[in-house]
């Protein structure tokens, strides 16, 4: 998986997003316990949020792996001049800073970060207020498994 996340980390982060959405403190507590060498849950959820926002922005602007250098340069210019893209990047940076600063077992912070990530994911859908979250998370889970 890109952006420094392994598939296992992406799946753990997605499980945390789902648990936060369902207000399942027991599941969040279990996920926060983690294992040796695993990132603290707030930091992981924030890092996944940054990855998801970056992926969604790339899709929104039409990034394709087959693009020429000239097309990539044009796309970079378009993204750089777009206020929404710049604000999305700022949101991702803020989430990461907040996630890194949070205590590893701070479920309240994890929930707020998770809900912010979910809202960012929903914001790029056609009808954000009508987008069902669990199917959206399932789509991201499928993507994580198919792009190791």
Closest CA to 141 of 5, 8, 11, 3: 11
Closest CA to 51 of 95, 106, 107, 111: 95
What proportion of the chain, given as a percentage, has pLDDT over 90? 45
pLDDT, tens digit (0-9, with 9 covering 90-100), for 69-118: 898 888 888 888 888 888 888 888 898 899 888 888 889 999 999 999 99
């Amino acid at each position: 998986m890109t952006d420094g996340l392994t598939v296992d980390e992406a799946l753990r982060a997605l499980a945390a997003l789902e648990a936060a959405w369902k207000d399942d403190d027991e599941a969040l507590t279990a996920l926060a316990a983690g294992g040796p060498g695993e990132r603290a849950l707030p930091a992981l959820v924030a890092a996944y949020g940054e990855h998801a926002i970056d992926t969604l922005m790339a899709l929104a602007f039409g990034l394709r792996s087959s693009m020429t250098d000239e097309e990539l340069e044009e796309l970079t210019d378009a993204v750089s001049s777009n206020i929404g893209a710049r604000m999305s990047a700022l949101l991702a940076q803020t989430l990461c800073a907040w996630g890194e600063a949070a205590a590893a077992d701070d479920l309240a912070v994890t929930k707020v970060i998770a809900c912010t990530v979910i809202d960012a994911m929903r914001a790029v859908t056609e009808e954000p207020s009508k987008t069902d979250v669990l199917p959206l998370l399932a789509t991201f889970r499928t993507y994580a498994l198919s792009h190791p």
